[in-house]
């Protein structure tokens, strides 16, 4: 039981779901905002900007990294994070495309919900 069946679905849907998951916590959205505003910043600045412990921020950054939405650059003992703009744009385009296709197929035989 509790087998993860995600991989049996359409790879494109899997990719979009990874993007969705990255956006599924407001802390990660807040991180993206700070990174955009400042054009990237070090982990410590993010910790100061968020109401979360350093280890928790680091974990959210890891998730954003795994979804390819941010990049990290080591500067001595510091980690400078910035937004991976090409990847973000690609993901947003994928999302838009998904919903565009959804609307194009929009069948008028909707139930009377």
Binding site for a second copy (CB under 8 A): 5-6, 8-10, 13-14, 16-17, 19-30, 32-33, 36-41, 51-52, 70-73, 75, 80-85, 88, 92, 95-96, 98-99, 101-103, 105-113
- Judged by beta carbon distances under 5 to 8 A according to partner kind, the member of DNA, a second copy, none in contact with residue 97 is none
Q: Is 21 in the site for DNA (CB under 7 A)?
A: yes
Among 12, 13, 25, 97, contact with DNA (rule: CB under 7 A): 25
Instruction: Write out the two tokens for 103.
Output: 């609307």
Token duo for residue 83: 């937004």
What DSSP string runs through 37-64? Answer: HHTSEEHHHHHHHSSS-HHHHHHHHHHH
Cα separation of the two ends of the chain: 34
**Residue 4 in contact with DNA, rule: CB under 7 A:** yes
């Amino acid at each position: 039981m509790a087998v993860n069946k995600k991989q049996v679905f359409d790879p494109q849907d899997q990719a979009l779901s990874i993007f969705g998951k990255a956006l599924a916590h407001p802390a990660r959205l807040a991180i993206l905002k700070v990174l955009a505003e400042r054009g990237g910043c070090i982990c410590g600045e993010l910790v100061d900007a968020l109401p979360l412990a350093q280890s928790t921020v680091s974990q959210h950054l890891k998730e954003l990294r795994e979804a390819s939405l941010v990049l990290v650059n080591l500067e001595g003992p510091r980690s400078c994070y910035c937004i991976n703009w090409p990847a973000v744009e690609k993901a947003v385009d994928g999302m838009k495309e998904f919903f565009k296709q959804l609307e194009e197929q929009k069948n008028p035989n909707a139930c009377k919900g």
